[in-house]
Structure 1
Amino acid sequence: MSIVSGLTTAENPLYLPKQTIAFFDSDKCLVGCNADFQMFLGLPLMLVQAGTPMVQILKHCLGEEGAATGPAVRDQGRSSGLERCQELFGKQQPVVILLQTKKLVQLTTADLSGGGLSLVATDATPYCAGGLETVAAKLKVVVESISQGISLFDHNLDLVLWNERFCEVMEFPPEQLRPGIPLSELFRFNAERGEYGAGDVELLVADRMELAARFKSHRFIRKLRDGRVIEISGHPVSDGFVTTYTDITEQHKSAAALAEANRQLEQRVSLRTRELEQELDNRIKTEQRLLQTMEQEQLANRAKTEFLANMSHELRTPLNCIIGFSELLKKQIFGPLGQERYVEYCTDINSAGVHLLEVLNDVLDVSKLEAGEIELREVSFDLGEITQASIQIVATRAENSNIAIDTRFPIDLPLLFADPRRVKQVLINLLSNAVKFTPEGGKIEVSASASRQSGLLLTVRDTGIGIAVKDLKRVMEPFVQAGDSLTRKQEGTGLGLHIVGNLMEMHGGTIELESEPGEGTTVTLFFPKERLRYDPLDKSQKAGHAEEQPQIDRLLH
């Protein structure tokens, strides 16, 4: 419900039970009414006679100070209340009027068959709590409680209602607003202070008035001079339009900040994408170069392996001849050589040939290990027997240096399932190193222990010169020997421990070195528990071991 000039209108009829009714014919002349109609509207008796035009009744109700409003309120010509009532009745809309007795009455018409109509008068005063002034005050309180700015203009685009928030948001001075001020004056005020930008003031006002006169819903964003952002939303009502004004400066800033953050994020994502594409391209190129390098290395390894395999045959044959004939000459099998120096020379030739053959065998073994050409021929065997056979090979050199070699093996040591030839090769390498690097009068100890839960440990411990901590990892690499090459007294290729490490890895085992300079070296070999065969005295196992012994002997020799 809206209130203007002491007259109220409602878009929907009020539900007011205290009412009276009158009926009019097609000429809108009174046909009849109930007894309360006259007293309710304060009509003289002459106006409730049959045939009285409804116009006369309405004029009397409106009086000189009466005014009527409805969905359309006042035009520029200030149309009379009677004309407004007739207009609203023609639209089947109710009208609330203020009688001279200060009573509020709602009038509602309804068409009847035959062209007549009914006029229902309802007392609205009890429901307006103190009259029109109170209704206006209450409505003002409601409007002021709204957090948004709000304005109501009638169909003539004159200001009807507003709140203080409207003044604050749009920065209108309080004295600028008054009931009935045309919208064009507010547009002109804004245009003159530059709210609409540069241009002719009247043209700016005319453009906006043309849009407002269309009475269509609208919503747009306006940025004020001080930088604030206002959302303006207008909606037509039955007698004009209502507009809300919302300060969305903070939301606008947040949206702008979010948009900027999104833009920067997109830039970073785009940049990172290009970087990743470049990294991927570089990685692909690097992988291609690595593949080419690997292929070249594989070709080189194959060439090296083939070369060593061919050379081993070509070198071993003459070396065996040199070693064999020098051995005969050294022992003077077919008679004395005549000079003692010849015997010394033959001994030196024999030692050099044996050393060269050992170097050749080590290099060939390393090549085969790297090429994966060594296959294990695994059987169950007695580790003690293999150890004694290995000790016999280095026994002569050990005796010449007065080095004692002891073994400590438990009686119940299980059989070992492995390649006996390769295990013997491992032991010979370790024992040879121990003899080579142990001073005269030293000691070497070979021990073993086994556990069903962990596996078998084979240890070779000497009292030799030892290895520095910084060299412990290096000595496992090929062609590396501990100590300074200028001061090292012992000969060798530095391949022994490298071969041992690879052979142990093929058996699923490991090798560990512990050493201190001057305190000796301890080498520990570990074989996993899966390679242990227990109960050597068991008939079936013993019989199987006996069957395997010829094969073991063949592999070892």
Structure 2
Amino acid sequence: MKKSFISIFLFFLFTSLSWTVPDTNLQSYIKTNPFESSMFLLLVIGLLAISIILFVLTKIHRKKNNALEKADKAKTDFLARMSHEIRTPLSAIIGLNTLALEKLVKVDGAEIASTYLKKIDISSHHLLELVNNILDISKISEGQMKLKKTNFSINSLLSSLYDIYFIEAKNKNLTLSIQNAVKDFDTIIGDSLLLKEVLSNLISNAIKFNKSQGIVTLSVEDRTSSTNDTHSENIKTIRFTINDSGVGMHRK
């Protein structure tokens, strides 16, 4: 790049000379036209200075871009590596919790303990899903992230979300409720993990920014008829809505 930069500058310089200096002896021209010669020299020096500055700035900018790219790659590699490391003990927790549920005998308090263990199991699986989402960061940066189409139950999704955030809502003296108005069907096709992640973030924020004795409600309804979709009977429009009694967000 440096050689090409010098070649371009020299070409521009000699072209300028041919335009500015007539076909006479150069020394005699300078003697007879000192002011024009001085101005031309200043112009050449100015152009040279500007060219050097631009060249240096371009080089600095390129170095910064390379450094940012390396830092971004290092961050992605770190997240992927840590996600793999976290999955190992998390899988052990899920496995031990499953064994505890299987070995639990019917004694006093066993039913309550079983309920708590099931909630631990649901929360652990949710945490594992979040860890797996971290692994998707590298896929996103490489443009390989794709939506997964799998069958999943609406009721199971709602029950899982309720079990995950019930304790958090209770600790803040909030009422968390689920309202499912979809009655004609339960199984749908889509990316359940991404849908769950979106709903989880919304519920978490609704709880976080709510006041004591407040309410957080997740409602689901079938909006197929209102969309007037006549292309296929298998296409359904479902709306998830989260209402809360928090302060909300400013219009700005």
Normalising by structure 1, what TM-score? 0.28
- What's the counterpart of residue 178 of structure 2? 405
Cα distance in 2, alignment partners of residues 321 and 369 from structure 1: 26
Cα distance in 1, alignment partners of residues 149 and 115 from structure 2: 38
- What's the counterpart of residue 199 of structure 2? 427
User: Secondary structure, in 3 states, of the residue corresponding to 1:403?
Assistant: strand
Cα distance in 1, alignment partners of residues 238 and 37 from structure 2: 65
- What's the counterpart of residue 134 of structure 2? 366
In structure 2, the CA distance between the partners of 1:296 and 1:325, relative to structure 1 (3 Å rule), is same
Q: When you count helix as a share of all residues, which structure comes out higher?
A: 2
In the TM superposition, residue 287 of structure 1 has moved relative to its aligned partner by: 0.8
Cα distance in 2, alignment partners of residues 292 and 435 from structure 1: 40
Structure-to-structure mapping, 1:532-547, within 5 angstroms: none
Q: Which has the larger radius of gyration?
A: 1
Contact 2:122 2:160 in 1 (8 A): no
In structure 2, the CA distance between the partners of 1:298 and 1:326, relative to structure 1 (3 Å rule), is same
Q: When you count strand as a share of all residues, which structure comes out higher?
A: 1
Matched, 1:394 2:161: yes
In the TM superposition, residue 386 of structure 1 has moved relative to its aligned partner by: 5.3
Contact 1:393 1:428 in 2 (8 A): no
2:243 counterpart (462, 476, 480): 462
Cα distance in 2, alignment partners of residues 464 and 263 from structure 1: 77
Normalising by structure 2, what TM-score? 0.52
In structure 2, the CA distance between the partners of 1:337 and 1:354, relative to structure 1 (3 Å rule), is same
Number of aligned pairs?
197
Structure-to-structure mapping, 1:263-342, within 5 angstroms: 263-264=38-39, 267-268=42-43, 270-312=45-87, 314-325=88-99, 327=101, 333-336=105-108
User: Secondary structure, in 3 states, of the residue corresponding to 1:405?
Assistant: strand
In the TM superposition, residue 461 of structure 1 has moved relative to its aligned partner by: 2.9
Residue type of the alignment partner of 1:390: L
Stretches of structure 1 that go unaligned for 5 or more consecutive residues are: 1-254, 470-513, 516-557
In structure 2, the CA distance between the partners of 1:263 and 1:357, relative to structure 1 (3 Å rule), is farther
In the TM superposition, residue 317 of structure 1 has moved relative to its aligned partner by: 2.6
In structure 2, the CA distance between the partners of 1:464 and 1:328, relative to structure 1 (3 Å rule), is farther
Q: Deviations over 1:449-473 (max 9, x none)?
A: 57589xx79453322434555xxxx
Cα distance in 2, alignment partners of residues 308 and 335 from structure 1: 38
In the TM superposition, residue 334 of structure 1 has moved relative to its aligned partner by: 4.8
In the TM superposition, residue 347 of structure 1 has moved relative to its aligned partner by: 8.2
2:215 counterpart (418, 437, 442): 442
Stretches of structure 2 that go unaligned for 5 or more consecutive residues are: 1-31, 230-236
- Taking only aligned residues, the RMSD between alpha carbons, in angstroms, comes to 4.9
Cα distance in 2, alignment partners of residues 418 and 361 from structure 1: 16
In structure 2, the CA distance between the partners of 1:405 and 1:320, relative to structure 1 (3 Å rule), is closer
In structure 2, the CA distance between the partners of 1:387 and 1:431, relative to structure 1 (3 Å rule), is farther
